Amino acid sequence: MTTALITGASSGLGAEFARQLADQGHGLVLVARDRERLERLASELRSRCGVEVEVLAADLTDQAQLSAVVGRVADPARPIGILVNNAGIGLLHDFDRNPLEDEVRHLRLHVEATMSLCHAALGAMTARREGRIINVASIAAYLPRGSYSAAKAWIVSFSRWANMHYRREGVLVTALCPGFVHTEFHERMGMTKQFIPPFLWLRASRVVREGLLDNLRGKAVSIPSRRYKAVALLSHVLPRRLLVGPRRRPQR
């Protein structure tokens, strides 16, 4: 089995990717800012699955720390066979109300870190003529909803191209586009979940399972569940003004 490097691995989809890949027998490199949570997960997976797990604590919005992870991905002596770019954050307010430094950090994490790690991985994987990359995007990529949607749309567009271009060299690239998933993501950004209909929520286990299968099948884009596949289809035919969504009112 190969080694998988997963960013944002301390919780949510990242931790679920780690569990499912460990169950398949893959070694792991777990990347996130919270070393303590990574160590707990690593201990669990070593004990339960008997796989090798390396912990690499890093903030991918910090250039020096990102460079350390890029170096690990590119290391020919310890090849990474599967890269999962999962690390991500959300911003609660409209673009004009978010501090610019938050918007820049948001862009660095979703676009610059993903691009840098893909660049390192593709260089190493094409040399071996094998490898897999999953870039976690969002169904928001299909909706005009501010800088988050724009960043995720970049991931989808890049992954489509990379899958077509590099599969001839043995590398499969997939953009995973879930909708609402039961994780800590929304709580961390301060977003209430009570106004989101229950039928829109997906379990992390399902999202990861479908993403891994679609990647193995060579699909450029994976959209878990029929309901979100329908959203993607409707986004191409509905008037854009209906997709923008309401402007958030400032909280008093």
Q: Which amino acid is at 187?
A: E
Tokens at 165, concatenated: 């271009």
Place of tokens 């599969």: 167
Beta bridge pairs of residue 31: 7, 56
Spatial distance between the Cα atoms of 155 and 133, rounded to a whole number of angstroms: 12
Spatial distance between the Cα atoms of 231 and 224, rounded to a whole number of angstroms: 11
Check if the beta carbon of residue 6 is closer than 8 Å to that of residue 86: yes
Place of tokens 């890093």: 58
Spatial distance between the Cα atoms of 235 and 166, rounded to a whole number of angstroms: 28
Q: Which amino acid is at 199?
A: F
Spatial distance between the Cα atoms of 12 and 121, rounded to a whole number of angstroms: 23
Which strand ranges, in their side-by-side order, compose the sheet holding 27-32?
53-57, 27-32, 3-7, 82-85, 131-136, 171-176, 221-222
**Residue 228 among the catalytic residues:** no
**Maximum pairwise Cα distance, the chain:** 57
Which of 142, 148, 166, 228 is labelled catalytic?
Answer: 148
Give Cβ neighbours of residue 177 (< 8 Å, ≥ 6 apart).
137, 138, 139, 141, 142, 152, 156, 221, 222, 223, 224, 228, 232
Active site residues: 148
